Amino acid sequence: MMITRLLTRDPKRDTDQGLSSARIRFEKRAAAARRRPRVIAAVAVALLLAMGLVAWLGWFSPVFTADAVVVKGASTAQAAQVRRAAAVPLGGPVLRVDTAAVTRRLEADRQWADIAVERSLPHTVTITVRPREAALAVRTSSGRVEVVDGKGFAFRTVADPPQGVPLVTAGTTVVTRVGVTAALQALSALDPALRRTVSGVTVSAADQVKFTLTVKGARKTVVWGGPGDAVTKARLVVILLKQPGSTVDVSVPSSPVTR
């Protein structure tokens, strides 16, 4: 009888314990819910304070002042030119350096195919450039020479063409954009070994290109024609240079001739 009483649970007591446990859990959840807005508010305030501190340090304090300009992608002489053209204001907060304005000043210099300007904490403005490479030199109507890159962009005006850069002259008073394009296509399509022997590039009033090649000591005139079919014309030039004659005409690729 005693064993039976020991093994028998009191339903009322169990119910009271269950209610007490549920009430404790509810109170804990309620307390956590009451604390949550305060925790969120505290975190938000901390974040705002941190952001404000970073903004103050970067924009107004003397801690992160711009005192160095690093130039990448250029030679020592070119780096000095980049610094002069960029005119980065030093001595103030680095984050207040106007990178867009620096980029515009470098673009106005016309010497750089690609430009990237970055601010780097704590004290550096980094400028990465890719210099334009001369592909042609074009004689203008004033007698000056414009140096042109592979995309036909004139980026420098000089008195004489740079060494090793083919000079283009015109049968008219000026070389047109179409004529420049045709000359660039011709030079880029030629085999590099032949390209190095190019001289006397001319563009007619009809934008027809003609130039001279020196092969094994012999000079041959190539009548290239206008823009288009550059790869085919270049292949024909290689074949026809082996034929007798002093002139190779590939202006009409379907009917090339030598004479």
| CA gap 201, 222 in Å, rounded | 10
Q: What is the mean pLDDT of the chain?
A: 84
Cβ–Cβ under 8 Å, residues 154 and 147: yes
Residue-number span of the structural domain to which 35 is assigned: 16-53
| CA gap 83, 192 in Å, rounded | 34
**Model-level pTM greater than 0.85?**
no
The answer, yes or no, to whether residue 114 has pLDDT greater than 90, is yes
The answer, yes or no, to whether residue 238 has pLDDT greater than 90, is yes
CA distances from 210 to 103, 158, 224 (A): 39, 23, 6
CA distances from 41 to 32, 47, 52, 81 (A): 14, 10, 16, 52
CATH number at residue 83: 3.10.20.310
Per DSSP, 208 falls in state: -
**84 and 31, same domain (yes or no):** no
- Classify residue 122: in a domain, yes or no: yes
**223 and 195, same domain (yes or no):** yes
